[in-house]
């Protein structure tokens, strides 16, 4: 629809110019239509594959929370959960805002990272049942989203600095405590990939939860170029990545979930996806599950009725049960600690494909 709208807008001036020339010129109508069609085709190609990739990359790099999420007024307190408004720095210096829910009966804290165009509210419905079960949580707005400082959006690469900053914040908060809480990293969509990239650069966590991850930026751009714009992945994806690298100031090839997974600690990992996710699909989740070296790795695939990142909204009870069961096992006495070498051997692995 977006591409058709652009082509229609581009066609209007050609029609107006052709009408004026036809009215005051002696050029034959056939010649006029032929030259207008040639020039229009050239202009359309220039806009779609010249200006289009630049504008698309610029829009992503300078994006933020979508309007419907900016208007949300919910909070943990409305669900009977105590929290604090907090602020902390990403490791590259940007100021981030969030909510901190202290743990009660469980000595563990989830660091919850939302996806592109969203904010901390996306993680709230996922976190409330976890908090009621006694776990703590840090829900925060990533750079340029919600109430956090503006920064360049990179589809996960710069955002890994936000996750690392969140890990450092929790560590500092409990640095004088005799009993340090264990940290669980959780992310959705872009947040899942920035979480994985951060995990590859840190050792301060005990488990990972990835909801709707993608494998790399190139494949994701190619998929979305057809899904959203109905444009062929070549040459749009290469042109988009060309501009993304220059505007966001990073090499998109450095964002690779498989390579990041190979560098993380062999901690328990839960990966969630759905057959109805036409944006990311299930290939990334299945690949990451198969490649994970963790002794405990669980793959949950929801059905075709569940869209991108929508499992918590469509099946809230089942989703929270899945997370709680995973956390109880992953953080239990039989789970491997964060700095334990698992030797690449999977002692416990589960794969579940169902809508529930």
Q: pLDDT digits over 10-54, tens only?
A: 666 766 766 666 667 777 777 777 877 887 787 777 777 888 899
* Residue after which a domain boundary falls, among 203, 234, 254: 254
- pLDDT of 13: 75
Task: Please check the confidence at residue 119 and state whether its pLDDT lies above 60.
Answer: yes
Model confidence at 173, pLDDT cuts 50, 70, 90, reads very high
Q: Are residues 271 and 237 in the same domain?
A: no
Q: For the residues 214-226, what does the mean pLDDT come to? A: 94
Query: Do 269 and 321 have their domain in common?
Result: yes
Mean pLDDT (the chain) is 89
Do 189 and 323 lie in one domain? The reply is yes
30 & 56 share domain: yes
Supply the pLDDT for residue 5.
65
Q: What per-residue confidence (pLDDT) applies to 299? A: 98
On the question of pLDDT at 93 being above 70, the answer is yes
How much is the average pLDDT of 278-282?
95
Last residue of a domain, one of 195, 229, 254: 254
- Clarify whether residues 227 and 211 are in a common domain: no
- pLDDT attached to residue 338: 39
Of all residues in the chain, the percent with pLDDT exceeding 70 is 87
Evaluate if residue 185 carries a pLDDT over 80. yes
pLDDT at position 104 is 97
Specify the number of domains making up the chain.
2
pLDDT at 81 over 50: yes
For residue 228, pLDDT beyond 90: no
pLDDT at 47: 78
pLDDT of amino acid 170: 98
Please say if the pLDDT value at position 3 is more than 70: no
Residues 180, 287, single domain; the answer is yes
The pLDDT of residue 352: 63
**Confidence grade of residue 348 (pLDDT, cut at 50, 70, 90):** very low
pLDDT band with cut points at 50, 70 and 90 for residue 227: confident
Residues 125 and 238 in one domain: no
Same domain, 46 and 82: no
Mean pLDDT of 91-118: 98
Q: Which residue has the higher pLDDT, 105 or 232?
A: 105
CA distance 296 to 203: 17
Q: If you average pLDDT over residues 264-275, what whole number do you get?
A: 97
This prediction has a pTM of: 0.87
Same-domain check for residues 196 and 322? yes
Give the per-residue pLDDT at 123: 98
Residue 343 pLDDT more than 60?
A: no
37 and 173 housed in the same domain: no
Give the pLDDT confidence score for residue 160 in this predicted structure.
98
130/238 same-domain check = no
Q: Is the pLDDT of residue 261 over 50?
A: yes
Q: Which pLDDT score, from 0 to 100, does residue 356 have? A: 43
For residue range 308-325, list pLDDT tens digits in order.
Answer: 999 999 999 999 999 999
Q: What is the mean pLDDT of residues 99-108?
A: 97
Range of the domain at 54: 1-61+217-254
Whether residue 225 sits in one domain with residue 209: no
Q: What is the model's pLDDT at position 40?
A: 76
The CATH number that applies at residue 161 is 3.40.50.1820
């Amino acid at each position: 629809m977006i591409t058709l709208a652009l082509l229609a807008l581009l066609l209007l001036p050609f029609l107006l110019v052709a009408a004026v020339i036809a009215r005051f010129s002696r050029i034959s109508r056939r010649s006029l239509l032929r030259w207008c069609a040639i020039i229009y085709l050239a202009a359309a190609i220039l806009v779609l594959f010249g200006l289009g990739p630049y504008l698309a990359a610029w829009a992503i790099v300078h994006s933020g929370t979508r309007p419907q999420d900016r208007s949300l007024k919910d909070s943990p307190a409305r669900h009977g959960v105590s929290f604090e408004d907090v602020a902390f720095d990403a490791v590259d210096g940007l100021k981030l805002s969030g909510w901190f829910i202290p743990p009660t009966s469980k000595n563990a804290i989830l660091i919850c990272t939302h996806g592109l165009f969203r904010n901390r509210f996306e993680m709230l419905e996922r976190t409330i049942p976890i908090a009621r079960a006694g776990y703590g949580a840090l829900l925060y707005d990533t750079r340029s989203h919600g109430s956090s400082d503006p920064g360049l959006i990179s589809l996960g690469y710069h955002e890994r600095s936000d996750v690392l900053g969140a890990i450092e914040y929790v560590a500092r908060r409990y640095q004088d405590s005799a009993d340090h809480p264990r940290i669980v990293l959780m992310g959705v969509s872009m947040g899942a990939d920035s979480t994985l990239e951060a995990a590859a650069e840190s050792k301060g966590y005990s488990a990972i939860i990835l909801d709707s991850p993608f494998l790399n930026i190139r494949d994701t751009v190619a998929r979305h170029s057809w899904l959203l714009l109905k444009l062929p992945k070549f040459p749009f994806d290469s042109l988009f990545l060309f501009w993304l690298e220059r505007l966001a100031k990073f090499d998109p090839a450095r964002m690779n979930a498989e390579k990041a997974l190979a560098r993380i600690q062999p901690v328990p990992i839960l990966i969630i996806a759905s057959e109805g996710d036409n944006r990311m699909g299930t290939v990334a989740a299945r690949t990451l599950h198969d490649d994970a070296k963790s002794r405990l790795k669980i793959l949950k695939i929801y059905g075709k009725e569940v869209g991108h990142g929508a499992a918590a909204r469509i099946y809230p009870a089942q989703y929270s049960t899945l997370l709680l069961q995973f956390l109880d096992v992953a953080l239990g006495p039989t789970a491997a600690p964060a700095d334990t070498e698992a030797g690449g051997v999977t002692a416990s692995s589960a794969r579940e494909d169902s809508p529930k």
